[in-house]
Amino acid sequence: MRLPYFPLHVVLFPHLPLPLHVFEERYRAMARDLVSDASPYAGRFVVSMITDGHEVAKRHNGPRSPVRSRQIGTIAEVRSADQLADGRWVLLAAGLSRAVLGAVDQSGPYALVEAAPLPEVAGVGAERLVAEVQVALDRYLATVKRFVATAASESQPPEEVNDVTASLDAVLKPIHLPEDPLAASYAVGGLLQVELTRKQELLELPDAASRLRAEIKLLRRESRLLADGAMPPIAPADLRYNPN
């Protein structure tokens, strides 16, 4: 299928949300077409991780800077759209399915790409792996909470440490993974705070069982690093809308 193409510095997993702040004219045009009642795309577009280049075009009158991205991305669907008074858009999209990307057409106001959905495969032993991933995830979140609380106690006055602890309790609530191994594998992929390249590797794995096994290793690795004080969790500044 031929769909609008939105390369980003992000890895989107199926079933997970993607908030977008759209301000470039080419993507404003895309947003208008996506939400139009007469849209041939039914609100669907393709996201893939940028490997070379920028989300935001340089402000000059020359040709657009080339962007390179991974061949496997995700078909997304707009779930809500609000246009601001100055023409910008605030979109909330959700991943639908993984896809292999083909030829890109840059001739129009925005890029279009050929995208072939990939099959959803559970893989051997996927169901029994969900419980093991749940244990690893619980330990990972508990380690993140201890790490942040310890770091706060070393640099903040006691009353602010209490505020940090209360915030952590509110944010890092127990997360119960879905029983479906495919949905569970995508949920953990979205939760893991690791390099984008590692997330992309998870997205590209052929089935849920392979993904869950890799996620168990990553969760245990990240827990060990945090317990040793070797690596902080994601910075609050990274929890933001994706600009185009």
Helix (H) or strand (E) holding 201: helix 196-204
Go through the domains of the chain in sequence order and give each one's CATH number: 2-118 (2.30.130.40), 126-238 (no CATH)
pLDDT of residue 235: 44
pLDDT of residue 237: 37
d(C-alpha 4, C-alpha 20), whole Å: 15
Residue 117's identity, in one-letter code, is P
d(C-alpha 73, C-alpha 49), whole Å: 7
- The single residue listed with the structure tokens 């029994």 is 128
Question: Which residues, at least 6 apart from 11, have a Cβ–Cβ distance to it below 8 Å?
Answer: 49, 189, 196, 199, 200, 202, 203
Closest by Cα among 35, 167, 150, 48 to 101: 48
Closest by Cα among 205, 40, 222, 39 to 123: 205
Helix (H) or strand (E) holding 165: helix 158-171
**Three-state secondary structure of 7-45:** EECCCCCECCEEEEEECCHHHHHHHHHHHCCCCCCCCEE
Question: Which residues, at least 6 apart from 26, have a Cβ–Cβ distance to it below 8 Å?
Answer: 57, 109, 110
- The single residue listed with the structure tokens 């969760």 is 219
End-to-end CA distance of the chain: 23
pLDDT of residue 89: 96
pLDDT of residue 83: 95
pLDDT of residue 211: 98
d(C-alpha 43, C-alpha 17), whole Å: 14
Closest by Cα among 150, 202, 225 to 12: 202
**DSSP conformational letter for 54:** -
pLDDT along the chain (244 residues), means of 10: 95 96 94 94 96 56 62 97 95 98 94 96 96 94 78 58 56 81 97 92 97 97 82 45 52
pLDDT of residue 56: 47
Closest by Cα among 122, 74, 92, 87 to 18: 92
User: Which residues make beta-bridge pairs with 95?
Assistant: 14, 76
